[in-house]
């Protein structure tokens, strides 16, 4: 059964500061991880790519349509899944993902994980605002769901995203296929 709230405290946090709020003339983006302590976390580089029209892309649980061109990304991700907890792309777009619990039921079926949505947005966008639109379109079409742990015990949650680029930052809250 999918969990609607954590059994123990979880504290996955993101923050961003954009000029002129930063003490330096740069964007500062950070995220910590509250994944299980024995879960392998990889930092990986995925080069930009060109893909065959009509091809499909296998994410953690489901396939989606692949786009013709993807951007290079650096990701921090649990080794067992396709998506990522945080990352940045060649255009300076940074995204962090956090679990969020709401009164909205968590879907038990397989769909895109919030971490899959994060990677898809980084691979397909050149600005934070474009990344937000990528996530919301995919969320409306495929929804989010599936276990967020490699462990056989199901553990599912909704996602919050912090998206930033060199000029702006966005917070995107989601619950099921809903977003704000």
Instruction: Specify whether 12 is catalytic.
Output: yes
Dihedral class, residue 82 (left if φ above 0, else alpha if ψ from -120 to 50, else beta) = alpha
Catalytic option among 12, 59, 94, 148:
12
Rounded to the nearest 10°, the torsion over CA 60, 96, 104, 78 is 30
Closest CA to 2 of 135, 158, 106, 120: 106
Instruction: Just list the catalytic residues.
Output: 12
């Amino acid at each position: 059964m999918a969990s609607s709230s954590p059994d123990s405290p979880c504290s996955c946090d993101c923050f961003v500061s954009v000029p002129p709020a930063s003490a330096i003339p740069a964007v500062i983006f950070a995220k910590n991880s509250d994944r299980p302590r024995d879960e392998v976390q990889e930092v990986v580089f995925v080069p930009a790519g060109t893909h065959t029209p009509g091809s499909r892309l296998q994410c953690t649980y489901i396939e989606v349509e692949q786009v013709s061109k993807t951007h290079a990304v650096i990701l921090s991700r649990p080794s067992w899944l396709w998506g990522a907890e945080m990352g940045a792309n060649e255009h300076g777009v940074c995204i962090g993902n956090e679990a969020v619990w709401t009164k909205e039921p968590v879907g038990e079926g397989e769909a895109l994980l919030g971490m899959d949505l994060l990677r898809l947005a980084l691979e397909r966008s050149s600005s934070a605002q474009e990344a937000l639109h990528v996530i919301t379109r995919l969320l409306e079409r495929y929804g989010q769901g599936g276990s967020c742990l490699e462990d056989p015990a199901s553990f599912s949650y909704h996602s919050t995203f912090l998206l930033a680029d060199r000029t702006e930052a966005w917070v995107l809250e989601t619950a099921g296929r809903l977003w704000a």
